[in-house]
Amino acid sequence: MFSPSAGLGRTVFKLFQHPSLAIVKAAGLIMKAIIEEGTPEMAKKMQDLALAEGALPRHLHTSLFTASSDNRLLTHR
């Protein structure tokens, strides 16, 4: 089973920075599965990793300040 404490959790969070939207979406689905199907302790570890990696401020910054004429990106904002 996936163990965020094994250092793989940080790797999953790094995938959120990938330029390919398909990889970002896949990382989100993996994260969702880990949280929904894992133990409460695992969900807590993933939440702690999200805070440690600064996931929310990074995503907020990207959604607010990314200038693009590609309408497909609007759903990701």
Write out pLDDT tens, residues 40-50.
Answer: 988 888 888 87
Can you state the angle between helices 40-53 and 55-65, rounded to 10 degrees?
Answer: 60
Pick the residue with more confidence: 73 or 13? Answer: 13
Q: Taking a C-beta distance cutoff of 8 angstroms, is the pair 4, 42 a contact?
A: yes
Pick the residue with more confidence: 31 or 4? Answer: 31
Task: Find the mean pLDDT for residues 30-44.
Answer: 87
Tokens of 40: 């409460």
The proportion of the chain whose per-residue pLDDT surpasses 70, expressed as a percent, equals 70
- Return d(Cα 66, Cα 12) in angstroms, integer: 22
pLDDT of residue 59: 67
Angle at 57 between CA 36 and CA 41, to 5 degrees: 30
- Return d(Cα 2, Cα 56) in angstroms, integer: 23
- Return d(Cα 30, Cα 4) in angstroms, integer: 12
